Amino acid sequence: MTYADDFTIGSQEEMIQLIDEMGFVPFFDNEIEGFSLEEHIAPGCWYDDGDNGFWPAWEWKGPVIRESKCAYGKFLRGKAMYVSAKWFPDFANYRRDGYDFDARYDDGLAPRQDMDFYEVLDANAPILSKSLKQIGGYGRNGRKGFDTILARLQKQCYVVTADFRYSMDRFGEPYGWGVAVYTTPEKMFGRKFTDAVYKRTPEESYARILKHLRKILPEASQEEIEKILR
């Protein structure tokens, strides 16, 4: 199957199958036509505006991450994307340019504010975003740049979303939007990730990803694919 095929996703089980088969599944539409869950979701699964209006694809996020063991984060030009367990080590190796975070900082490639953020996250992961802000001292009268640093570290694949948790009402029912739980790939995936992430050069990982994306995106040009990978 490719993204050029006519298919629809109508359940979280089908989402998991799509992630496993394609390897890379952006949540929202983007520069490459058809390359997203949004463009292939079944009617009523993106948003159901019935009496109890809900957002199925959003509510599946946590279960899909947990059950598929995939990586999820703002990996695609500031937009969310699922990356399968099979492909994430190569993707992280390419995006990290072969550096673990300590080596990146030691070589002067990461600012002190990123190190401060990463150290708090690493010491407390998995952690709710609001708790991460509190422990790290981010807020109106504290440190600045929480969202910017988080987005940068997700793009570099040092931070992933482990789950989404909902607030509960007095009847024990979930309500509102799910709150993101963040962690590091090393903590989320363990040895399976750490043994694989740097076994190739970043250039070799990039070449493998590019070849795979050209296969599943037959109507996209190489220039378009290279642009979204940057």
Residue partners of 160: CB distance under 8 A and separation at least 6: 71, 72, 73, 154, 182, 183, 184, 185, 188
H/E stretch holding 114: helix 112-124
pLDDT (tens digit per residue) in 19-65: 999 999 999 999 999 999 999 999 889 875 544 555 789 889 999 99
Instruction: Say what the pTM is.
Output: 0.93
Q: How far apart are CA 26 and CA 76, in angstroms?
A: 7
* Residue closest to 184 by CA, chosen among 135, 114, 86: 114
CA-to-CA separations, 90 to 5, 148, 207, 212, in angstroms, rounded = 26, 24, 10, 12
Q: Per-residue pLDDT averaged across 65-72, rounded?
A: 97
Q: What's 31's DSSP letter?
A: S
Q: pLDDT tens digits for 154-168?
A: 999 999 999 998 776
pLDDT at 176 over 90: no
Map residue 24 onto helix, strand or coil: strand
What's the angle, vertex CA 122, arms to CA 116 and CA 125, rounded to 5? 130
Residue 172 has pLDDT above 80, yes or no: no
Specify whether the CB–CB gap between 113 and 168 falls below 8 A.
no
Summarize pLDDT for 107-128 with one digit per residue, the tens.
999 999 999 999 999 999 999 9
Per-residue pLDDT tens digits for 197-227? 999 999 999 999 999 999 999 999 999 999 9
Q: How many CA atoms lie within 13 A of 174 on its CB side?
A: 8
In this predicted structure, what is the pLDDT of residue 51?
47
- What's the pLDDT tens digit per position in 127-152? 999 999 999 999 888 899 999 999 99
Every domain of the chain and the residues it spans: 12-224
The average confidence (pLDDT) of the chain is 93
Instruction: Reply yes or no on whether the pLDDT at 174 is more than 80.
Output: no
Mean predicted confidence (pLDDT) in 94-113 = 98
The whole-angstrom separation of Cα 154 and Cα 60 is: 21
Q: Tally DSSP H helices, then E strands, for the chain.
A: 12, 6
Residue 155's pLDDT is 97
